[in-house]
Amino acid sequence: MDDRRLVEIVQQIAGGDADAVGAFYDATSSRVYGLALQITRAADEAEEVVSDAYLQVWRQAARFDPQRGSPLAWLLMITRSRALDRLRRRDEARPVANVPEPVDPPSGGNAETWLLASESESAVQAALVGLSAAQQRMVQLAFYRGLSHPEIAAETGLPLGTVKSHLRRALQALAKALGPGEGGER
């Protein structure tokens, strides 16, 4: 379904049309579930994230601004936020080496765009494997679970300065490993 039609559906939702939520769900749920599953790595949690995301859409559809982005991007941002909230409530961290590949290619992209994105992600995964275990954990907590430096310190029991040092060294190592073509040093 194209963005123009999705914008119309979100506007219908904002007007209180409950059937429009069903249409929006039908058009977008596979992408939403894929992202939720990619982040949570648990089917039951992903299903709860999906429910939370569509409930938030129902409540906040009037806030959607098509000038700021597509309805799908807005929905995926909500989904990511809900999934990260769920991960923050977990006690255990997941290893970086098991971060799954994206479920679907980016919308609106051609084969070349998808190939470049896939190659970039592969390069990042390879660079992550080259980090020490402590650096991998810091990157995983900061970027995959979305924790702040103080939250990482609380999660790991490490002093805040140590957390910041580990993250700084990890980011420097990633930048060096990725080089100029992948967002590293230029």
Longest dimension (CA), the chain: 52
Please give the pLDDT value at position 141: 84
Burial of 178 (0-12, 13-18, 19+ CB in 10 A): middle
The token pair that represents 91 in the structure block: 């006690």
Please give the pLDDT value at position 86: 82
Q: What are phi and psi of 108, to 5 degrees?
A: 80, -5
Distance CA 1, CA 8 (A): 11
Are residues 131 and 174 in contact, defined by beta-carbon separation less than 8 angstroms? yes
Under DSSP, the state recorded for 41 is -
pLDDT averaged per 10 residues, the chain (length 186): 92 94 94 89 89 94 92 92 80 46 48 53 72 82 83 86 87 79 45
Please give the pLDDT value at position 107: 53
Spell out the CATH class of 109-179. mainly alpha
Please give the pLDDT value at position 1: 77
Spell out the CATH class of 3-88. mainly alpha
Are residues 79 and 49 in contact, defined by beta-carbon separation less than 8 angstroms? yes
Q: What amino acid occupies position 158?
A: L
Distance CA 91, CA 37 (A): 18
Task: Write down the domain spans for the chain.
Answer: 3-88, 109-179
**Helix, strand, coil percentages, rounded to 5, for the chain:** 75, 0, 25
Please give the pLDDT value at position 158: 84
Are residues 80 and 35 in contact, defined by beta-carbon separation less than 8 angstroms? yes
